[in-house]
Amino acid sequence: MAKAKKGAVELIALQCTECNRRNYTTKKNRRNSQTKLELSKYCRFDRKHTLHKEVKVK
């Protein structure tokens, strides 16, 4: 597997606040947004829209 270059864009995961599962992955530019990302996304395990917070990808 190729190593990612160290740059402004990093790969993050979005974790559901209710079931604590990582449902989504996305990219984020660290220079444009330094705060942690929080989005209301659909959780297929809870079957409703819940708050998802940014966590690191393992």
* CATH superfamily, domain at 9-56: Ribosomal protein L33 (2.20.28.120)
Which 3-state string (H, E, C) describes the chain? CCCCCCCCEEEEEEEECCCCCEEEEEEEECCCCCCCCEEEEEECCCCEEEEEEEEECC
- In this predicted model, what pLDDT tens digit does every residue of 23-50 receive, in sequence order? 999 999 999 999 999 999 999 999 999 9
Confidence of residue 7 (pLDDT cuts 50, 70, 90): confident
Share the mean pLDDT of the chain: 92
Q: Which of 37, 41, 47 is nearest to 16 (CA)?
A: 41
